[in-house]
Structure 1
Amino acid sequence: MARWQINLTVLWLGQFLVMGGMTMIIPFLPLYIQEMGVTDAHEVAMWSSVIFAGNFVTSFLFQPLWGGLADRYGRKVMLLRSGFGMAVVMTLMGFASDPLHLLLLRVMNGVISGFMPAAVALMSTNTPREKIGFAMGTLQSGGVAGSILGPFIGGLLAEWIGFRSIFYITGILLFCASLLALFLVKEKFDASAAQSKPKISLLQGFRELKQTRELPALYAVTFVIQFSMLSSMALIPLFVQELHGKGEMLAFYAGLVGSVTGFSNMIASPLLGRLSDRIGPVKILAFCLLGAAVSFIPQALVTNIWQLLAARFMLGIFMGGMLPSVQMLIRTYTPNGMESRSYSFNTSALSLGNMLGPVVGGVLSSSIGIKGLFVMAAVLLFANMLWVRKTLFHGGTKQRAG
């Protein structure tokens, strides 16, 4: 195997474990809070929402800081910092005796997170240019696989070994993945040259990146993608119940509808990434945004579970080409030596979409319903496609600055 392929294999596993560990708590988080002594249903719901969101709030705030340090000291260092740090924090979650303890640990997890943008930056700067699309797509498939299987594995393990043991196992797996990265991932990085450059603040770094007008446009694209996708996500089980009724296998169908987009995404990401290496990421991004917008429309018109499954599967295919194309374009337009900082700002935009999408969707659902949210997502993604055409289609994709 070539060096970049070894890096990709190890980082794929790391992405899988990080996302799996972050989403594994979804099925049993309210039950874990009840085990801590909280019995009021409203309080349980409130704590569950705050604890789950806490990770994304601090991740949004701290990602640019870690990105700046990665550009000065290396991406592998940031990988290891995040991987070993999350292993410790995840293990400590198993010792939490109060919801406040769990909230503080989730907040801390967001502070020290950064494995994913560091992995993306490392792969983008240590992969042959003609293979970057494939590498970005494959790397995303690892995170998506973790997101899909995390809740499923978490639900199974909760039944077999109890809630607290899941955190211990996840911590151990993250520690092992970080050890693999320590010994197997290699990075070409001139630390002395990077540290000899003038030190700039986060605001100065953003101002410098903003001079390349395509980068803020790409951050906006990432935000709108996440916002659109997550605005209706929390309400999908209720929509499945509306279509299926309160009969048998309701939980199974709800889980299947929730995960089918991830499966098609995981399959499509490497294929679309390989195609973007041939025809360019801008075309793939515009095509996938349009396809995702179209895929949301039939979701507002379905009358049974199978129609919804087909529409969600189609949506996942187009999702598979969006974020990898954005990551490839960020690599294209970012000045040399600022790759990690640039990816970290994009991760902040992604975290902001993760936070605001469900909140705004929950508020709007009372007035327009989940079908209205599907239509809203279609409109936003179509507008996003027009934004991409306006800001990125101008005589082809230019070469990297710097």
Structure 2
Amino acid sequence: MPFWRRNLYILMVCQFLVLGSMSMIMPFLPLYLQEMGMTDQSEVELWAGIIFGANFLSAFIFAPIWGSLADRFGRKMMILRSGFGMAIVIILTGLATSPIQLLFLRLLNGMISGFIPASIALMSTCTPKEKTGYALGLLQSGAVGGSIIGPFFGGILAEMIGYRYIFFITGIGIAIATFVVLFLVKEEFQPQKKVKEKRNFFTDAAMILQQKKLIVLFGVGFLMQFALMGAQPLMSLFVAELHTPGGYIAFFAGLVASVTGVSNMISSPYLGRLGDRYGSERVLFFAMIGTAIFFIPHFFVGNVWQLLVVRFLLGLFVGGLSASLNSLIPKYSPPEKLSTVYGYNTSATCLGNLLGPITGGLMSGWIGIRGVFLIIALILFIAALVLKLGFHVRTPNRHKPSALRAG
């Protein structure tokens, strides 16, 4: 077996463990705040958005720095740094007793995070170019598979042992995945050759930000994550509004999160192959259009069963978003600065992850959670338009696959 394929399978399993562990508690963050003694509903919604987004504020700042270090010292080292660091911080999060402590630990977690971006960068550098879309799609399937199992078992565990102990299980799961990477993943990393031109973090940033295609991708990534994360911390509250059978709010909140992941996992490898054949920019464009369309029915659902169907259909298109975006980045990045570029892309998506939940929490107080879904659909349509104009995406089928190159 080629070592890149072996790395792919190992990292797919590791991302499954990491995302499965982390997603066990995230859908229930508002309920965790209520357990701490917060009773006012509007206050819970606001704090949930702030704490949920705090992780992404520090990640937004530090992601390019970790990316630059990965180009100098290797991507595997960044995976290990992030994995062991997050395991410790998340275990400490289970000991938090106030929203302020929870906020601080989420900021710290974002500062040391980067397991997923470093894994993507490692696979992008060791995978044959004609297999990149497939490899990143399969890698995303592993991550999404974890996001399926995590909320489902998190909902069961929340009913059995409470929210606090799930943090301890999460930390242990991430530590196990990191040890697997330590002993099994192989990276053929060669340090950058010294160049006469004096370069530093800021000169590299200036060089990267001069690439117009990369700026478009960063902008699309921001809008995409801003939209997708806008309602994420509100979903368990929305499920509660739908009067779940038997009153099992935590269980059905986890199930709603999981069903989207099921369809996402199914579609990601298939859409990745389509990206390798017809162009990742086309797959990304149509995936955003489909995602926008299926956010609209969220406004009209009347019970949790209807919501489950809509979320499943939504996930079929969401599966083509991140993998397609990540497949496009190596095409326009200097090879020796690929991890740095991924770092900037992570910053853009983290900014969306930061502002999306905060904005969604604020807007839900004005227009309701249902109204937020319509705003999300509009933002995704705008993101698709930005991509089409920036890459001149050709939609007719008469063009030959070989001629379909980005831009």
* Aligned length, in residue pairs: 395
Rounded Cα–Cα distance in structure 1 between residues aligned with 2:14 and 2:314: 26
CA contact (8 A) 2:46 2:358 kept: no
Matched, 1:397 2:396: no
Partner of 1:41: 39
CA contact (8 A) 2:84 2:175 kept: yes
Rounded Cα–Cα distance in structure 2 between residues aligned with 1:384 and 1:28: 29
Partner of 1:383: 382
CA contact (8 A) 1:333 1:398 kept: no
Partner of 1:232: 231
1:106 to 1:200, Cα distance in 2 relative to 1, 3 A = farther
Rounded Cα–Cα distance in structure 1 between residues aligned with 2:217 and 2:44: 37
Rounded Cα–Cα distance in structure 2 between residues aligned with 1:210 and 1:60: 16
Deviation at 1:388, TM superposition (A): 1.1
1:366 to 1:46, Cα distance in 2 relative to 1, 3 A = closer
CA contact (8 A) 2:54 2:107 kept: yes
Partner of 2:373: 374
More deviation, 371-380/272-281: 371-380
Partner of 2:317: 318
Partner of 2:399: none
Partner of 1:186: 186
Rounded Cα–Cα distance in structure 2 between residues aligned with 1:163 and 1:280: 43
Rounded Cα–Cα distance in structure 2 between residues aligned with 1:322 and 1:306: 25
1:294 to 1:263, Cα distance in 2 relative to 1, 3 A = same
Deviation at 1:44, TM superposition (A): 6.8
Rounded Cα–Cα distance in structure 2 between residues aligned with 1:34 and 1:364: 21
1:192 to 1:301, Cα distance in 2 relative to 1, 3 A = closer
Q: What do you get for the CA RMSD once the two structures are aligned?
A: 2.8
Superposed, 1:121-200 pairs within 5 Å as: 121-160=121-160, 165-193=165-193, 200=199
Deviation at 1:253, TM superposition (A): 4.1
More deviation, 261-270/157-166: 157-166
Superposed, 1:275-314 pairs within 5 Å as: 275-314=274-313
Rounded Cα–Cα distance in structure 2 between residues aligned with 1:48 and 1:110: 16
More deviation, 166-175/353-362: 166-175
Deviation at 1:48, TM superposition (A): 5.1
Task: Give the gaps of 5 or more residues in structure 2.
Answer: 394-402
CA contact (8 A) 2:155 2:254 kept: no
1:287 to 1:28, Cα distance in 2 relative to 1, 3 A = closer
Deviation at 1:2, TM superposition (A): 2.1
Superposed, 1:74-93 pairs within 5 Å as: 74-93=74-93
1:345 to 1:9, Cα distance in 2 relative to 1, 3 A = same
1:93 to 1:198, Cα distance in 2 relative to 1, 3 A = farther
Deviation at 1:47, TM superposition (A): 5.9
- Partner secondary structure for residue 320 of structure 2: helix
> Per-residue displacement from partner, 1:200-252 (whole Å, max 9, x unpaired)?
4443323211222110100111111111122233333444455x446535624
Rounded Cα–Cα distance in structure 1 between residues aligned with 2:94 and 2:381: 43
Deviation at 1:385, TM superposition (A): 1.5
More deviation, 348-357/299-308: 299-308
Task: Give the gaps of 5 or more residues in structure 1.
Answer: none
Partner of 1:248: 246
More deviation, 231-240/179-188: 231-240
More deviation, 343-352/179-188: 179-188
> Per-residue displacement from partner, 1:290-334 (whole Å, max 9, x unpaired)?
111222233334445444333222211111001111000001111
CA contact (8 A) 1:226 1:357 kept: yes
Matched, 1:65 2:65: yes
1:197 to 1:240, Cα distance in 2 relative to 1, 3 A = farther
Rounded Cα–Cα distance in structure 2 between residues aligned with 1:14 and 1:258: 20
- Partner secondary structure for residue 336 of structure 2: coil
CA contact (8 A) 2:214 2:329 kept: yes
> Per-residue displacement from partner, 1:77-120 (whole Å, max 9, x unpaired)?
11111112222223333455665444433322211111111111
1:159 to 1:361, Cα distance in 2 relative to 1, 3 A = closer
CA contact (8 A) 1:12 1:143 kept: yes
1:356 to 1:96, Cα distance in 2 relative to 1, 3 A = closer
Rounded Cα–Cα distance in structure 2 between residues aligned with 1:44 and 1:305: 22
- Partner secondary structure for residue 188 of structure 2: coil
Rounded Cα–Cα distance in structure 1 between residues aligned with 2:140 and 2:6: 16
Deviation at 1:391, TM superposition (A): 0.9
Partner of 1:19: 19
1:310 to 1:136, Cα distance in 2 relative to 1, 3 A = same
- Partner secondary structure for residue 149 of structure 1: helix
Rounded Cα–Cα distance in structure 2 between residues aligned with 1:378 and 1:158: 31
Q: Percentage identity across aligned positions? A: 50
CA contact (8 A) 2:290 2:317 kept: yes
CA contact (8 A) 2:78 2:118 kept: yes
* One-letter amino acid of the structure 1 residue matched with residue 294 of structure 2: S
* One-letter amino acid of the structure 2 residue matched with residue 340 of structure 1: S
